Amino acid sequence: MVFIPVILAGGKGERFWPLSRVARPKQFLCLDGSGRTLMQATADRLLPIAGGWDNLWVITASHLEAGCREQLPEMPAENLLVEPEGRDTAAAVAWTTIEIAKRYGDEAVIGFFPADHWVDHPERFEATLKTAAKLATDRPAIVTLGIQPNYPSTGYGYIEQGESIGQIQADSGESSLEAFTVSRFTEKPDRETAEAFLASGRFSWNGGIFVFRAGVALAELKIYVPHLIEQLETHGVEIYPTLEKISIDYALMEKTELAYVLPVTFGWDDLGDWNAIERLMKLQAKTADGTELDNVELAQHIGQETHGSIFYASDDDEVIVTIGLEDVVVVRDGNATLIVKKDRTQDIKQVLKMLKSDPKFDTLL
């Protein structure tokens, strides 16, 4: 079995502004103090199952091409696919799958992985991928990894488990995982619905990770989005600007009858905004020595009566001083400072729209 991991690296990460900018998106940042960017950490955990750099692929946007090559200099140049413009994940998955099938054949097993997520327990992650690849090899299956929810999030999509198909074991001697058919995908629910999902025990978070054989996925895409596949197979990447802008969830996963879910237990976070850094740093501190952090400080911070807040500065020489603040995020990066209540970080995108509307703020984007 050939396993080809593909890193989806075209995201913007706007909710991490001002640290995340157009030419330096979230996946190019180190947010956990490890010294490795999110994209490099993603590659690190995929390399063992890929068997080395020759089988690792990346698809990204044209303005991020140079950055991706700088991030992963060991990856062969021909394994980087560059979209002329973003057309959402269905186009990215379809084009990449076509190109991988050309090189490796329809039986190649492909996995798609966001570039900017955090994963704990890498050995458990690798074992899970081997199990997903085994399932995709043994039957026509489009496998998604379902993240075990630990709170009623309204910011993630959910996957409802259907019938169990039994335990899947990648290799003898390794632990097995139970797999299920997918009953349905649900987009971000309201709080009451999320609480009901959590209480039922039948729902997982949709982590945006998919594993399948190239030929199986292409056949399903031809059924549900035939125009997309036909245009790419006929015209190649030149047709990209005219392709429908649609996600792989809407284009395929919510329609196919070949969807299966593997509920998983490794630590995971999509690092969607600055609050995710608080979750990550507090978890790491508690795991390391039982410390319960009040403030999360990735900066020199002097605070008086300041609680439950997040501080970040790109320059180690800068000092952030606060008095009487609670539940805020303060970020210093170059020529920009962000101060926002923790429960309003989703509104950073709206502020960026204001900045984009005025040319004098171009250097802030």
> 312 forms bridges with which residues in the sheet?
298, 331
pLDDT band at residue 288 under the 50/70/90 scheme:
confident
| Average pLDDT value over all residues in the chain | 93
Phi, psi dihedrals of residue 37, rounded to the nearest 5°: -70, 165
- Residue 47 pLDDT exceeds 80: yes
What is the pLDDT averaged over residues 154-176?
A: 88
Is pTM beyond 0.85 here? yes
Q: What is the set of domains in the chain, with CATH numbers?
A: 3-269 (3.90.550.10), 288-364 (no CATH)
What percent of the chain shows pLDDT beyond 70? 99
Exposure string over 88-119, b if 16+ CB within 10 A, otherwise e: bbbbbbbbbbbbbbeebeeebbbbbbbbbbbb
- Residue 11 pLDDT exceeds 70: yes
pLDDT band at residue 169 under the 50/70/90 scheme:
confident
**Between β-strands 259-264 and 177-186, what pairing exists: parallel, antiparallel or unpaired?**
antiparallel
- Residue 90 pLDDT exceeds 80: yes
